[in-house]
Every structure is written in structure tokens, then in C-alpha cells.
Chain A
Amino acid sequence: KNEVEQSPQNLTAQEGEFITINCSYSVGISALHWLQQHPGGGIVSLFMLSSGKKKHGRLIATINIQEKHSSLHITASHPRDSAVYICAVRFGTNAGKSTFGDGTTLTVKP
């Protein structure tokens, strides 16, 4: 069982819809990282956060340390948002000690 659980595993939405992807973890962490993996395989860092909320364009990431839960929101979704979204949690100060979720595959239809 992965220490990092993402839901849903797959998500299909219509263009313009509000999207929420969830990430839950089992023990205390030092930071949480949201990543986007494009169909070709390349991975892009979206957010790294340890508390509160961060916003970049149409993307919003929140984290609740007490509930051990983070969400990634996409407003006004677009087909170009179609990708795999990965949550990774860091348990210490070393980024190499991160545990990755299995990913959420998002498909946004025009």
C-alpha cells in the first residue's frame, strides 16, 4: 500500500469545468510537491508547499497539515491541461526521500 494515496485515479472533464485532485498521506511530512507529467513523459514541477495555499494562473494547491491532505484545483479547465498529475511527499530535508503517488490521469474534452 502506497503511503501516498491520490484520488481519483482517472478523471474526465469537459472544457471549462473546475477540477479537483486529492492527495492523502499517512505520516507527518516536511513538504508536498505537485507535478505534471505530459503524455511524452516529461515532468514539470507545479507547486511545492508545506502549509496553506499557493496559486499560479488557473492552478491552486492547498494543504491541510493536520488532516494530512492536499488538493490541486484547476479552474476553467482546458484540453491542454490533460496530463498525469503526481503528488510527492517529502518526509525529511532530503528531496531524495520523497514518496510519490501513483498519479491522476486527467483528460479534458473540448
Chain B
Amino acid sequence: DGGITQSPKYLFRKEGQNVTLSCEQNLNHDAMYWYRQDPGQGLRLIYYSQIVNDFQKGDIAEGYSVSREKKESFPLTVTSAQKNPTAFYLCATGGGRTDTQYFGPGTRLTVL
């Protein structure tokens, strides 16, 4: 089954705790992305990685961290420094012949 897996679908955390969101892909795409979506707003880029062991900050990287140790995996950590972490988080990959983006099912994070 080809695609992008994000887990869990729903995540609840207490304020002040770090939390890591998983993103795994078996599409063999080089590029991977993390987006945040808030109600009624467009997707905003948090971090992206175009190759293993390399990643760049997006538009709203503060309070987040990532790693890219394997091509298949691009986990996102939401740290306690993120002031308003409750949101819907989407992982995407890019590449292939058409260079289009493919999106995972998303993780809805709620910080209590």
C-alpha cells in the first residue's frame, strides 16, 4: 500500500509538554513537508526537507523542530515554546515525474 502515514489521527497533550507527530512515506519521494492548518485559514509551512539529513525552516518554524534521518520518515516535534499548538498538522511529500505534492491524512493536536 503506497502512501503517507501520519499517526495518531487525534492527539491530546497537556500544556508545557513536548509532543512528536509521526510522518512516514513509502513513495520514495525526496522532499517532505510539514504544514499547519487553523480553522478558515490556508496551510502554512512549518519545515521542509529536500534530502536526508537536511531541512529548512518554513514560514512558522518557531516552537517546532524536525529531523530527517531516513528518507521515509520526517517527524515533527511541537515543543512547549510553541505558544498556540492546537491545530491540524499535515505532512506532505513531493517529487516524482509530475513534482506534485501528496498529503497525509493529518493529525489533529489539542493542547489542554
Q: B-contacting residues of A (Cβ < 8 Å)?
A: 2, 4, 33, 35, 40-45, 48, 86, 88, 94-96, 98-103
B105, A41: Cβ atoms closer than 8 Å? yes
CB pair A45–B100 under 8 Å, yes or no, is yes
Q: Mark B31-42, 1 if CB is under 8 A from A, else 0.
A: 101000000111
Give complex CA distance A44, B58 in Å.
Answer: 22
Query: Distance in Å from the Cβ of B44 to the closest Cβ of chain A?
Result: 8
A43 touches B33 (CB 8 A): no
Number of A-B contacts (CB under 8 A): 58
The minimal Cβ–Cβ distance linking A62 to chain B, given in whole angstroms, is: 18
Distance in Å: Cβ of B48 to nearest Cβ of chain A: 4
Contact status B106-A41, CB under 8 Å? yes
29 contacts between A and B (CB under 8 A): A33-B100, A35-B103, A40-B105, A41-B90, A41-B106, A41-B108, A42-B106, A43-B90, A43-B92, A43-B106, A44-B103, A45-B103, A48-B98, A86-B42, A94-B31, A94-B48, A95-B94, A95-B99, A95-B100, A96-B31, A96-B33, A96-B45, A96-B48, A96-B56, A96-B94, A100-B42, A100-B43, A100-B44, A102-B42
* Complex Cα spacing A98 to B31, Å: 13
Choose from B33, B44, B48, B102 the contact partner of A45 (Cβ within 8 Å): B102
Q: Which of chain A's residues has its CB closest to B98's CB?
A: A48
Given A42-B106, A45-B100, A45-B101, 5 other A-B contacts at CB below 8 A?
A: A35-B103, A43-B106, A94-B50, A96-B33, A102-B42
Q: Knowing A33-B101, A43-B90, A94-B50, say if A101 contacts B42 (CB, 8 Å).
A: yes
Query: CA A101 – CA B41 in complex, angstroms?
Result: 8
- A42 x B33 contact (CB < 8 A): no
> In whole angstroms, how far apart are the Cα atoms of A88 and B100 in the complex?
11
> A residues within 8 A CB of B90?
41, 43
